[in-house]
Copies of this chain bind each other. A is one copy, B any other.
Amino acid sequence: MTFKEMLDVVITRYEVRDIRFPTSQHLDGSDAMNKDPDYSAAYIVFYTDAEEPSLEGHGMTFTCGRGNETVCCCIKQLAVKFINKSLRELVSDMRSTHRICTGDSQLRWIGPEKGVVHLATGAVINAIWDLWAKAVKKPVWKLVVDMTPEEFVQCIDFRYITDVITPEEAIEMLRVNVPHKAEYESNVLVNGYPSYTTSAGWIGYSDEKVRRLIREARAEGFTIFKQKVGRDKAADVRRASLIRDEFGEKGTLMMDANQVWDVQEAIDWMQDLLPFKPLFIEEPTSPDDVLGHAAIRKALFPYTKVATGEHIQNRVIFKQLFQAEAIDFCQIDSCRVAGVNEILAILLMAKKYNIPVWPHAGGVGLCEYVQHLSLIDYICVTGTTEGRALEYVDHLHEHFIHPVIMKNGRYTAPLAPGYSIEMKRDSIEDYSFPNGKVHRQQ
């Protein structure tokens, strides 16, 4: 089949799997709010009528265990709408494709565009991007980089954000980078993309384990670390002191409270941590509290900055975080919002407000996804990697056919066609909940 023919494939059926990794056994991923996550994937495969070679679109949404079955249930409700649709029909108008999920006149009641139905939308839309990228034999980032500004903008639903950015304005912003895209692309192919690690900072780890992990990470080239805070102030101070002791004043330290504080509590608690010069405090309070983040940012200025995003439900809340000058760092999550389409809208708004995008990663599959998004942000939108870093956590990559490849503490550009999210068939089977081999043995 030629590329052209591959775009004419038709989606014939889907498979949804509830995949769970029992990470809570080792307190990987533990923080002040999420004390025992079982990193999980609500996973979908779209199958097509293509044979020899077959063509499949894989997508997933990350969750923390319980609740994964609810997201799977919702993915099925959305996936059925894609049966018998041709890939060409879907990708020739991605704005409408996005609305197949977000505009369902009955389903929107259980959102709209938030929580379970939006997490499910993220999995489904990303699976379409994976299918599209495989059909044209490019990684997703390259598929987007090769679009004209008009094609890029045609992927975005501007509903509810036109008071901040219009399609015309977005096209103008993207045109500025068109002459430089080839140069930026060759930069990332040579140098990769800067990253930081959270692997060392989980709240449930012992001091000795943290010290050892920091040394290992430094040996791998990482110079930016993130520490979880918010459960026990004395322990936070001790841990911060330990980290500064390990890598001195020059390394960059961030802190992450995972939403445990009320507004005034965040301001008060941080007073004892400011001496350790954190670059930012992440998720100091409810992700829904735009005005609360703005108040915290104002109170802590200029001693530290404010970051959030992994729990920001959609472009409308991001829009307000920018409008209210509530954050200094925009931490998009690849599957909490409605997939690549909505991410493109958020990248453009962040650029307009001059807020650097530091994607959330970790969990399972998030590193694989977000590397594409940072490359798009750099090559198409901002033209710089200065003052930016992409989160990296060293967990569960072995389950993916094309896992991220790190070099000297930087992400290398993924080259395989698709969105890098396809899991090995053995992993899908063994970790399926509750009947996969791993769960039967527990």
Q: Taking the complex as formed, is A180 at the interface, i.e. its CB lies under 8 A from any CB of chain B? A: no
Closest to A73 in B: B73
Q: Write out the residue numbers on chain B whose beta carbons fall within 8 Å of the beta carbon of A37.
A: 105-106, 109
Closest to A35 in B: B105
Closest to A296 in B: B163
- On whether A160 and B320 interact (CB within 8 A), knowing A33-B108, A290-B291, A291-B290, the answer reads no
A159 CA to B266 CA in the complex, in Å? 12
Q: Contact flags (1/0) for A134-171 with B, using CB distance below 8 Å?
A: 00000000000000000000000001111100000000
Q: Taking the complex as formed, is A382 at the interface, i.e. its CB lies under 8 A from any CB of chain B? A: no
Q: Closest Cβ of chain B: how far from A375's Cβ, in Å?
A: 26
Q: Closest Cβ of chain B: how far from A97's Cβ, in Å?
A: 18
Which residue of B34, B67, B313 is within 8 Å of A114 (Cβ)? B313
Q: Which of A58-66, A192-200, A209-217, A342-350 contacts B (4 or more CB under 8 A)?
A: A58-66
The answer on a CB contact under 8 Å between A77 and B73 is no
Q: Write out the residue numbers on chain B whose beta carbons fall within 8 Å of the beta carbon of A116.
A: 70, 74, 110, 115-117
The answer on a CB contact under 8 Å between A115 and B111 is yes
The answer on a CB contact under 8 Å between B67 and A70 is no
Q: Contact flags (1/0) for A78-116 with B, using CB distance below 8 Å?
A: 000000000000000000000000001111111111111
Closest to A295 in B: B163
Q: Chain A interface: which size bin?
A: 35 or more
Q: Which of A8-16, A281-289, A427-435 contacts B (4 or more CB under 8 A)?
A: A281-289
Q: Contact flags (1/0) for A312-325 with B, using CB distance below 8 Å?
A: 01101101100110
Q: Contact flags (1/0) for A296-326 with B, using CB distance below 8 Å?
A: 0000000000000001011011011001100
A77 CA to B73 CA in the complex, in Å? 12
The answer on a CB contact under 8 Å between A65 and B106 is yes
Q: Write out the residue numbers on chain B whose beta carbons fall within 8 Å of the beta carbon of A107.
A: 64, 66-67
Residues of chain A in range 353-373 having any CB-CB distance to chain B below 8 Å: none
Which residue of B67, B77, B288, B316 is within 8 Å of A117 (Cβ)? B67
Q: Write out the residue numbers on chain B whose beta carbons fall within 8 Å of the beta carbon of A385.
A: none
Secondary structure of the A side of the interface? loop
Closest to A103 in B: B33
The answer on a CB contact under 8 Å between A288 and B263 is no
A64 CA to B111 CA in the complex, in Å? 11
Q: Taking the complex as formed, is A391 at the interface, i.e. its CB lies under 8 A from any CB of chain B? A: no
The answer on a CB contact under 8 Å between B288 and A316 is yes
The answer on a CB contact under 8 Å between B162 and A264 is yes
Q: Write out the residue numbers on chain B whose beta carbons fall within 8 Å of the beta carbon of A118.
A: 115
Q: Write out the residue numbers on chain B whose beta carbons fall within 8 Å of the beta carbon of A70.
A: 70, 73-74, 77, 110, 116-117
Q: Counting chain B CB atoms within 10 Å of each CB, which of A34, A35, A115, A162 scores highest?
A: A115
A163 CA to B317 CA in the complex, in Å? 20
The answer on a CB contact under 8 Å between A115 and B106 is no
The answer on a CB contact under 8 Å between B36 and A106 is yes
The answer on a CB contact under 8 Å between B105 and A36 is yes
Which residue of B35, B65, B263 is within 8 Å of A163 (Cβ)? B263
A313 CA to B64 CA in the complex, in Å? 21
Closest to A75 in B: B70
Q: Taking the complex as formed, is A259 at the interface, i.e. its CB lies under 8 A from any CB of chain B? A: yes
Q: Taking the complex as formed, is A183 at the interface, i.e. its CB lies under 8 A from any CB of chain B? A: no
Residues of chain A in range 35-69 having any CB-CB distance to chain B below 8 Å: 35-38, 63-67, 69
The answer on a CB contact under 8 Å between A114 and B112 is no
The answer on a CB contact under 8 Å between B73 and A163 is no
Instruction: Give A contacts to B, CB under 8 Å.
Output: 33-38, 63-67, 69-71, 73-74, 77, 104-119, 159-163, 259, 262-265, 285-292, 295, 311, 313-314, 316-317, 319-320, 323-324
Q: Top 10 A-B pairs ranked by shortest CB distance?
A: A115-B115, A116-B116, A67-B110, A66-B106, A65-B106, A64-B109, A163-B263, A288-B316, A73-B73, A160-B286
A-B contact list, 25 entries, CB within 8 Å: A34-B105, A36-B106, A37-B105, A37-B109, A64-B106, A64-B107, A66-B107, A67-B74, A70-B110, A70-B116, A73-B73, A74-B116, A114-B115, A114-B313, A116-B117, A159-B262, A159-B286, A160-B262, A160-B288, A161-B262, A162-B264, A288-B313, A288-B317, A291-B323, A292-B316
